[in-house]
Homo-oligomer: A and B are copies of this chain.
């Protein structure tokens, strides 16, 4: 028999890297590849109590069908979380999603027809590319520097007449680069979006995990017309396994998301929504987030320090002020996919950076995750990588590195 899939099915392919990275599940492999939170910080015992509270007090509600929009007290909690980022929303402006990944899928569904343009950072979040890809847009990559998306490049494209359905950005501690968009650029992005009447999709999963520097207001803080669609998640502050995220947007837009979500999965797990609320009601959520932040900051410091001590000198690495990831640029000509194969032989893994470019390329980059690895394994893993890098870069004229070796 012949199976006739939809046209969009040709755009989603199993990734060879994902297959390679399955090897990272072996216990002997030190993996900087995932984007996973540190599981030892999950509030397991507190969850036992929260589950019992919810089931005892309202089990018949928690296990029944819920509303598509989400559990009202959880929507109210997201309003509080957003307030800290300078966003003033009502709970009716919020849709609870099955992880913020679903917010990305619903964004594609609500906005993208085949051939539409999506502007995104270069590099950008891999799973956002995957989510949008299913709606067959064309991606236009906007270059970044240490202050995030370069506004002159964005303006140049807009002035040339290009009109995206939306601009997708992760302004805080971006995945994969760890970079943060500066305050000035946030304002400028808003001005350009206003001037050219463009929607912004602001994806902020990591904003709560700010180690240092001033916490910047969300882009949505500067939004007067309701053109910013704001996505966030509890995956990095509570638990990814529960799949709880949210979308906040003005009514006209949110209403479409709600209708599409109805057709997609009816509603998000209601028990999980209620358990999270029960946890927040009886514990200090901010203190819990600070605990996570402190651990990740220590791990970032250690990874960065070890890289500076061990890696050949002509390798560049970002210095993220929060979040989960470091971004590494190797000298031109090096291919991180090939490096990964060699690193796996040394029982250490990372994600080759090429996958984070919507239109491919830039194979001399890599993403390193520090949140999910105990301190001594961080040092060990970076040293293992350094050995491979030094071997490789011998032929790239890195005399200093060769000397170190």
Contacts and interface: CB of A to CB of B under 8 A. Distances in A.
Contacts of A48: 51-52, 55-56
Interface string A108-140: 011111001000000000010011011100000
Interface in A1-45: 1-9, 12-14, 34, 36-37, 39-40, 42, 44-45
B101 A265 contact: yes
Contacts of A36: 64-65
Interface in A316-356: none
Interface residues of A, number: 81
A246 interface: no
A105 interface: yes
B55 A47 contact: yes
Contacts of A130: 262-263
A44 B60 contact: yes
A56 B265 CA distance: 29
Which 7 pairs across A and B sit closest by C-beta, in order of nearness? A44-B59, A39-B60, A51-B51, A63-B239, A241-B270, A130-B263, A42-B63
A368 interface: no
A102 interface: yes
7 contacts: A7-B113, A9-B111, A14-B259, A39-B63, A47-B63, A65-B240, A99-B266
B266 A101 contact: yes
A378 to B, nearest CB: 19
A220 interface: no
Nearest to A116: B6
Contact of A272 (B65, B104, B269): B269
Contacts of A45: 55
A263 B134 contact: yes
Given A6-B109, A262-B127, A266-B127, A39 B64 contact: yes
Nearest to A227: B1
A260 B55 CA distance: 33
Interface in A259-314: 259-260, 262-272
A63 to B, nearest CB: 4
A63 B241 contact: yes
Interface string A58-94: 0111111110000000000000000000000000000
A225 B1 CA distance: 7
A290 B98 CA distance: 31
A366 to B, nearest CB: 20
Interface stretch (A144-152, A181-189, A249-257): A249-257
A199 B3 contact: yes
Given A52-B52, A63-B239, A264 B266 contact: no
